[in-house]
Amino acid sequence: MTGEAARLLPSSAASPGGTEVALACAGIERSFGGLRALKGVDLEVRRGEIFGLVGPNGSGKTTMVNVMTGFYPPNRGSVRLFGRDITGTAPHAIARLGVARTFQNLALFKGLSVLDNILLGRHVHMRPGALASLFYWTWAEREEFAHRRIVEEIIDFMQLQDIRDEPVETIPMGLQKRVELARALAAEPSFLILDEPMAGMNQEEKEYIARFILDARDERDVTVFLIEHHMDVVTAICDRIMVLSYGEVIAEGEPRAAMADPKVIEAYLGHRAASRHAGARP
């Protein structure tokens, strides 16, 4: 990363997670017709760490996340969240268990302000009912004020005060990505999944998002699962990574060591380029 990144990130950005397992996937298989997208993937994320999932395009990363969050039930295997079996559980039920997610493509609501987009992240905590609506000025209004207080705190945390009332479609993409992260944090998750949160960003924007991810882990007790193509970011902030290629795990461990694995180099560069890379080593 650049000198600015070195200023933004601590000298030891990643700190090891605890021994408690936040998410455990065992033997995950998922096929689409004749295509085997995932081939017996085992994955374990510890509470309090930033875990990276990387791999070339088409390696199965987003499919893996969709299995974890209930969008695709696995053909085989199991998913456990903080010890609870959530295999095949519906996405909305998994969200209520403390899982929040951002998407590779922006999923903000145009026509709404930054504030209102972030407020939508509170929907998993809202309990509307006929009785509450009938007595709005006693119960429902009090609940709405409580949600807004949390959202305002998130706006301060993500440094979005100056644009809080702007229509979300009018702000730059880097800020839109920050709003999407803020909306996910507004759900007060214990497990946060970020699918390429830095796609389309310039270097400065990437560095600030990296800082916010670290702060979310450290200050808000969030375990982070990160899919990202920018290897400088992955090596700077992830405690451990797993590398997928064609639906199979080819490396796992400390980021720099895993990325130096010959299988990983071949997956990214191809066999001939990988051979040249190996030959160039001192």
- What are the backbone dihedrals phi and psi of residue 32, each rounded to the nearest 5 degrees, phi first? -125, 100
Q: Residue 208 is part of which domain span? A: 3-19+48-238
Residue 104's contacts (CB-CB under 8 Å, 6 or more residues apart) are 62, 195, 196, 199, 227
CATH of the domain at 221: 3.40.50.300
Q: Parallel, antiparallel, or unpaired for β 76-81 and 21-32? A: antiparallel
Strands of the sheet containing 21-32, edge to edge, are 35-46, 21-32, 76-81, 84-85
The predicted structure's pLDDT at residue 18: 60
d(CA 230, CA 197): 10
Q: Give one word for 261, left, alpha or beta, with left for phi > 0 and alpha for psi -120 to 50.
A: beta
The predicted structure's pLDDT at residue 126: 66
Which of 63, 72, 71, 15 is closest to 43 using CA atoms? 63
The predicted structure's pLDDT at residue 273: 46
Q: Calculate the alpha carbon distances from 172 to 77, 117, 167, 203 in Å.
A: 41, 15, 11, 14
Q: What is the domain count for the chain? A: 1
The predicted structure's pLDDT at residue 4: 39
Handedness of CA 234, 237, 243, 244 (dihedral sign): negative
Q: How confident is the model at residue 50 (pLDDT cuts 50, 70, 90)?
A: very high
Domain assignment present for 256: no
The predicted structure's pLDDT at residue 122: 87
The one-letter amino acid code at 86 reads I
Domain assignment present for 88: yes
Domain assignment present for 250: no
The one-letter amino acid code at 33 reads G
Domain assignment present for 12: yes
The predicted structure's pLDDT at residue 2: 43
Domain assignment present for 168: yes
The predicted structure's pLDDT at residue 15: 44
Domain assignment present for 11: yes
Asked whether the predicted pLDDT for residue 245 surpasses 80, the reply is: yes
The predicted structure's pLDDT at residue 104: 77
The predicted structure's pLDDT at residue 168: 95
Mean pLDDT, the chain, integer: 86
- Compare 143 and 31 and report the one with higher pLDDT: 31
Domain assignment present for 25: no
CB 149 within 8 A of CB 142: no
Asked whether the predicted pLDDT for residue 78 surpasses 50, the reply is: yes
Domain assignment present for 85: yes
